[in-house]
Amino acid sequence: MVAPLNVVLFHFGQDAVSWAELLGFVTGALGVWLTVRADIWNFPVGLANNLFFLALFWAARLYADASLQIVYLAFGVFGWWEWLHGGARRNRRTMGRAKPWATCALALAIVPITWVLTVVLTHANDIAPFWDALTTALSLAAQWLLNLKQFENWYFWIAADVIYIPLYFVKVLYLTGIVYLIFLGLCFAGVRAWRRALRLGFAPA
């Protein structure tokens, strides 16, 4: 007996989301591990991760997270180029620290961005508008600093991950919640590794 079309499509959709979550798990963990090592291959792996999470978050109605993946695709291309050619005389960019005023400006910018996104997402019937908006703002700030290969990116990622973890468990995206637990641990490893590299004057490519 042939199953009704809507049942077939439902199961296909569930399988697609499961694959997106699994592949997001693998590429996400690998991408952050490469970032901890300051390895430029974090960018192509990250671009693949963005595509998998785009499918996953859209299906889960986390629209800001889904839209963020599109922004990440553009940021990833920019960051890849910046790490290759953003240094002196268009050489590879070296690891460094952000100016205090730049870090403060980014932190302050998170407030209006979160407010605007919360209003927009509330009207779009997003399932968690404020938290979705806040993590989006934090993640954009973190990605900007990462693209410039600046140490302070880790603090913004840690702040975002602390919110992401319970959000995804509440959304019953258990595997993604576990991914972000791993991300959080890797962020602390990144803080140690990049701090050591800066102290020793060694910045891996």
| pLDDT at 185 > cutoff 90 | yes
The residues pairing with 96 across neighbouring beta strands, listed in sequence order, are 150
Average pLDDT over residues 70-88: 91
Residue 7 within a domain:
no
Closest-CA residue to 154 (of 75, 98, 104): 98
Q: Does residue 53 form part of some domain?
A: yes
DSSP class per residue in the chain: -PPPHHHHHHHHHHHHHHHHHHHHHHHHHHHHHHHHTT-TTHHHHHHHHHHHHHHHHHHTT-HHHHHHHHHHHHHHHHHHHHHHH-SGGG-PPPPB---HHHHHHHHHHHHHHHHHHHHHHHHTT-SSHHHHHHHHHHHHHHHHHHHTTBTTHHHHHHHHHHHHHHHHHHTT-HHHHHHHHHHHHHHHHHHHHHHHHHHHT----
Q: Quick check: is 148 in a domain?
A: yes
What is the pLDDT of the chain when averaged over all its residues?
85
195 in a domain, yes or no? yes
Asked if the model's pLDDT at residue 143 lies above 80, the reply is: yes
Which residues does 16 contact at the CB level (< 8 Å), separation at least 6? 55, 59
Residue 194 has pLDDT above 60, yes or no: yes
Q: What tens digit of pLDDT does each residue of 36-69 get? A: 999 999 999 999 999 998 888 788 777 767 877 8
Low-confidence winner among 56-65, 76-85, 154-163, 172-181 (lowest mean pLDDT)? 56-65
pLDDT more than 70, % of the chain: 89
- Give me the percent of the chain exceeding a pLDDT of 90: 56
Residue 2 lies in a domain: no
pLDDT at 1 over 70: no
Q: What is the pLDDT of residue 151?
A: 97
Domain hosting 50: range is 15-200
Total structural domains within the chain? 1
State the pLDDT confidence band at 202, using cuts at 50, 70 and 90: low
Residue range 151-171: mean pLDDT, rounded: 93
Nearest Cα residue to 28 out of 56, 7, 49 = 49
Q: What pLDDT score was predicted for residue 205? A: 42
- Asked if residue 157 has pLDDT above 70, the reply is yes
- pLDDT at res. 15: 52
124 HSE (CA, 13 A, CB side): 19
Residue 2 above 50 pLDDT?
A: no
Q: Has residue 205 been placed in a domain?
A: no
Q: Is residue 3 part of a domain?
A: no
pLDDT in tens, 92-126: 999 999 999 999 999 999 999 999 999 988 887 77
Q: Is residue 159 a part of any domain in this protein? A: yes
